């Protein structure tokens, strides 16, 4: 578990992860409304070199941002899938070896997540800007995500 003091630290942490993750990676972001998920996704996109404004795709569910070599960053906000409907989104099309996928509220599409992914949980602290961040690798104990997370957090 780690603590960030403000939005800039959250985005810098995310940008650092973006530089370490290979294509084909999936990262989930969990936490209450306003806990820092979209702020993290924005910093991550900047770390990938995306210049466009990154907004939470709450109503559209999915936003795709092109990267080099026909690759893309896919930002999913599954909040609107709380009551169902995840089966209507073609996640197989979005999650492949030419994308890096970041999913806010991933618990609402748990049945569609890959076997291995990085899960990041955000908890606001008493200071308006401070957040506690907990990182966990879900899946195989020998998956490369473990080494990536270790390198990222050191």
HSE of 147, CA atoms in CB hemisphere, 13 A: 4
List the domain boundaries for the chain: 2-147
pLDDT greater than 80 at residue 135: yes
Q: How confident is the model at residue 95 (pLDDT cuts 50, 70, 90)?
A: confident
Q: How confident is the model at residue 4 (pLDDT cuts 50, 70, 90)?
A: very high
- Which superfamily does CATH assign the domain made up of 2-147 to? P-loop containing nucleotide triphosphate hydrolases (3.40.50.300)
Collapsing DSSP states into helix, strand and coil, what is residue 92? helix
The dihedrals phi and psi of 134, each to the nearest 5 degrees, come to -115, 130
The residues pairing with 132 across neighbouring beta strands, listed in sequence order, are 3, 123
pLDDT greater than 80 at residue 66: yes
The confidence score (pLDDT) of residue 26 equals 97
Give how far Cα 8 sits from Cα of 5, 13, 18, 36, 151, Å: 8, 9, 15, 11, 20
The answer to whether residues 117 and 102 touch, using CB atoms and an 8 Å cutoff, is no
Nearest-angstrom CA–CA distance, 61 and 91:
11
How much of the chain, in percent, has pLDDT values that exceed 70? Answer: 99
Question: If you write DSSP's letter for every residue of 24-35 in order, what string do you get?
Answer: T-EEEEE-STTS
pLDDT greater than 80 at residue 94: yes
Q: How confident is the model at residue 126 (pLDDT cuts 50, 70, 90)?
A: confident
Nearest-angstrom CA–CA distance, 59 and 49:
25
């Amino acid at each position: 578990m780690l603590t960030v003091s403000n939005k800039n630290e959250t985005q810098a942490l995310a940008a650092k992860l973006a530089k370490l993750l290979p294509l084909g990676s999936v990262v989930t972001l969990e936490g209450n409304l306003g806990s820092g998920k979209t702020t993290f996704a924005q910093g991550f996109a900047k770390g990938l070199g995306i210049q466009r404004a990154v907004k939470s795709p709450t109503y559209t569910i999915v936003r795709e941002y092109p990267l080099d070599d026909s690759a893309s960053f896919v930002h999913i906000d599954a909040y609107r899938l709380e009551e169902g409907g995840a089966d209507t989104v073609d996640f197989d099309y979005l999650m492949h070896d030419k994308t890096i996928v970041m999913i806010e509220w991933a618990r609402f599409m748990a049945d569609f997540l890959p076997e291995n992914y990085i899960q990041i949980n955000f908890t606001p602290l008493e200071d308006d800007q401070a957040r506690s961040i907990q990182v966990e690798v879900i899946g195989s104990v020998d998956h490369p995500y473990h080494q990536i997370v270790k390198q990222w957090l050191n």
